[in-house]
């Protein structure tokens, strides 16, 4: 499977003033069209694996469908110019998507493109959990360190190419049970969402999301839409991402192994 998502190229390696020719591995990046009920919705640049999971995860995190059961069928097709994810969704959801497309002037793979104002962002977020549900205990440093160590061992594409993002699911038993990779950080998260929803009976609110990328607005928003309540990242979040996390009741944590500390926002 790894051979489908990486390609060998000839490079010139320069070390201490000496150059030599060698083969190197690069991650594969291809256009992937997401189609709903026969209509093309968006084209993503993605790594061509776990595409059915990507289709489901994108459909949920972008609120095209509200429940996995509203996605009736998924067919992944390789074409001469890329890949197509052909999905059949419930009629009410398709009609809502058509109306949504009619109102938008542009659309890409990010979670905020096409919105007209910041108020639109807040309206997309679910209600913040109340009472005890609003507070998640912060894991201890060693638990997160062990989790990211296990995470790194399950990233074969990054190990081979150094050119992709990763998203991992830390379950309620502090085990890294699922890892997804992609050249796009949004795609990696959507693949993870689709995989967790398909494979696990556990609610997304019962575990934690680990990300190798920064916690951008779009990544936090997708997490909020899916009910994820704890997001742990290696890179610092943006200020607006922290504000959205607070509004959505998400515990946002930065893991800093070099300083041996966790930063809770």
- Active-site residue set: 110
Residue 127 per-residue DSSP state:
P
Cβ atoms of residues 61 and 41 within 8 Å: no
Phi, psi of 65, deg, nearest 5? -120, 155
Query: Strand, helix or coil at 214?
Result: coil
Contacts of 243 (CB under 8 A, 6+ apart): none
User: How far is 88 from 205, CA to CA, in rounded Å?
Assistant: 27
Helices 239-248 and 217-225, axial angle in degrees (round to 10): 10
Tell me the C-alpha distance between 122 and 117, whole Å: 10
C-beta of residue 76 within 8 angstroms of C-beta of residue 212: no
Find where tokens 């575990």 sit: 207
Distances in whole angstroms, Cα of residue 49 to Cα of each of 43, 46, 100, 168: 15, 9, 28, 16
């Amino acid at each position: 499977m790894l051979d489908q998502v990486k390609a060998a190229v000839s490079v010139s390696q320069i070390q201490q003033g000496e150059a030599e020719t060698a083969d190197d591995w690069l991650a594969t990046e291809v256009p992937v069209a997401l189609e709903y009920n026969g209509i093309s919705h968006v084209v993503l640049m993605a790594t061509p694996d776990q595409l059915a999971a990507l289709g489901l995860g994108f459909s949920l995190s972008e609120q095209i469908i509200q429940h996995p059961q509203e996605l009736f069928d998924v067919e992944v097709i390789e074409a001469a110019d890329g890949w197509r994810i052909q999905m059949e969704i419930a009629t009410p959801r398709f009609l809502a998507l058509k109306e949504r497309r009619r109102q938008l002037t542009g659309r890409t793979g990010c979670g905020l493109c096409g919105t007209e104002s910041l108020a639109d962002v807040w309206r997309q977020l679910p209600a913040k959990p109340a009472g005890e549900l609003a507070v998640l205990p912060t894991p201890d440093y060693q638990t997160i360190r062990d989790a990211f160590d296990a995470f790194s061992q399950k990233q074969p594409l990054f190990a081979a190419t150094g050119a992709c993002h990763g998203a991992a699911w830390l379950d309620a038993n502090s085990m890294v049970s699922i890892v997804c990779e992609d050249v796009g950080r949004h795609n990696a998260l959507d693949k993870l969402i689709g995989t967790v929803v398909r494979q696990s009976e556990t609610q997304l609110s019962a575990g934690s999301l680990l990300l190798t990328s920064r916690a951008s607005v779009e990544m936090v928003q997708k997490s909020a839409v899916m009910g994820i309540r704890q997001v742990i990242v290696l890179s610092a979040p943006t200020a607006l991402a922290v504000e959205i996390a607070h509004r959505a009741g998400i515990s946002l944590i930065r893991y800093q192994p070099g300083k041996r500390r966790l930063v809770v926002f």
